[in-house]
Amino acid sequence: MIVDIWLRLFVTGLFLLSAAQCVYALVTARADRTWIDQTSRALHLLMAVAMLVMAWPAGMSVPNRPPMVFFLLAAGWFTVVLAVRAGHRVTDGYHAVMMLAMAWMYAVMDGRVLPGQCAGTAADAPQPASSSMPSMPGMDMSGTTPHSGPMGGCGHPAAWVDAVNWVFTAMFGAAALWWAIRYFAVRQERPDVPARLWFAVACQAMAAAGMAIMFGVMV
């Protein structure tokens, strides 16, 4: 979870808006929307809910492996869509990476899935006054015993795990900036576009920003 309450509330707001947009798109489906579109939106809704829960203390009690497997399958879904559907391949590829990043986050939190992901146990790591780990200043990933709780008692992630987290942080930060620019471009170039379309673009920026923050507090 995110330790800082204001950052936690900010991230919660980002994913709440993203989830709301997905629900709106699902329930107001037009005749030209295919089952592929609806399935993809449902996956994004579940991703937004999962990230929202992960930011709060209750998220630390959720088993890591079932959602990890689910989001791996979701990444596979978007990969298949990428291969069979033309015209949206960049976007579908981005969404596949986003689902893969979700699976990665759950794998890191599990602490026992990735080979050599721990540079030490929770008992080895120096404990600050608060319960959060020094290696992850913004996120409480502490465990009380080896292989229990978040990260399975892993006190300090290996350097290669931190490196991957940095890559995801930078990637989603850049994606948030790109979607934000796209939002203002749509509003300026096509002022007659229905509000639901530019709101969808804005929510893409919010989801990417939320992902960047969640990965950022892990490094």
Alpha-carbon span 121 to 102, nearest angstrom: 23
Provide the percentage of residues in the chain whose pLDDT is more than 70.
81
Q: Is the dihedral of CA 63, 64, 68, 71 positive or negative?
A: positive
Q: Cα–Cα distance between 1 and 53 in angstroms, integer? A: 8
Q: What is the mean pLDDT of the chain?
A: 83
The DSSP bridge partners found for residue 120 are 156
Q: Is the pLDDT of residue 137 over 60?
A: no
Q: What pTM did the predictor assign?
A: 0.82
Region at 145 (left for phi over 0; alpha for psi -120 to 50; beta for the rest): beta
- CB neighbours of 113 closer than 8 A, spacing ≥ 6? 64, 65, 68, 107
Lowest mean pLDDT among 5-9, 43-47, 133-137: 133-137
Taking the C-alpha atoms of residue 210 and residue 29, their distance in angstroms, rounded to an integer, is 26
Length of the chain: 219
Q: How many CB atoms lie within 10 A of CB 140?
A: 16
* pLDDT, tens digit, 9 for 90 and up, residues 160-177: 999 999 999 999 999 999
| CB 49, CB 18: distance < 8 Å | no
Helix, coil or strand: residue 30: coil
Instruction: Supply the pLDDT for residue 144.
Output: 35
